Amino acid sequence: MNKVEKQERCALFLDRDGTLIQEVDHCHRPEDVVLIEGAAKALKKAKADGYSIVIVTNQSGIGRGYFGEEEFQQVQEEIQRQLGGLIDATYMAPDLPWSPSARRKPAPGMLLEAASQLGIDLKSSFMIGDRKSDIDAGKAAGCRTILVLTGYGRENQEAGADFVAQDIREAIELALTSQYKSC
Ligand SMILES: [Mg+2]
């Protein structure tokens, strides 16, 4: 046995639509990307504090045939451009809501994949999102959860999140000052 323990990282798992960027129904055009106010500055601070920034996003618009993976990638590139490259990784589930899926939130598959591929300690990490499915996925993965009131957040206040924040800026502030952070 190797006695040197692998250093694991903390992550902020971010839902994309309604959490990181303004909710647009099935956003698939770079020109529709509008960051939630304060997101860039807060994420920069989180990154400097040692967090990995990972997007976990359901994109059933792909499964439904509304748009393709290429358009999804163009939107991701625009987000990275506006954030100055702060996103470390993106996990996307194109699955349809009515098909069984281990990846589409509320299932925790994307978070578990990220943890194994990036060496993330889930119990020291946060899932931030605007829907109950984000909170359920975060809980199932063993993360702390923060519901934001942007996007569909106001309709999901009973989601049972550990914390509720006005927006991503406040959510990140909570995570950075949290007693649960240990990496
Ligand atoms: Mg959302």
* Domains contained in the chain, CATH given: 19-126+133-144+159-165 (3.40.50.1000)
Q: What is the pLDDT of residues 98-142, one digit of tens each?
A: 999 999 999 999 999 999 999 999 999 999 999 999 999 999 999
Q: Ligand 1 centre from 166 Cα, in Å? A: 14
What is the C-alpha to C-alpha distance for residues 19 and 85, in angstroms, rounded to an integer?
A: 18
Q: Ligand 1 centre from 57 Cα, in Å? A: 8
Q: What's the token pair of residue 77? A: 């590139």
What is the C-alpha to C-alpha distance for residues 120 and 113, in angstroms, rounded to an integer?
A: 10
| Residue 4 confidence class, pLDDT cut points 50, 70, 90 | low
Residue 179: the pLDDT is 76
Whether 173 shows a pLDDT value over 90: the answer reads: yes
**Residue ranges of E strands in the chain:** 10-14, 51-58, 89-93, 126-129, 144-148, 163-165
Q: Which residues surround ligand 1, an ion (CB under 5 A)?
A: 15, 17-18, 130, 151
Residue 8: the pLDDT is 86
% the chain with pLDDT above 90: 91
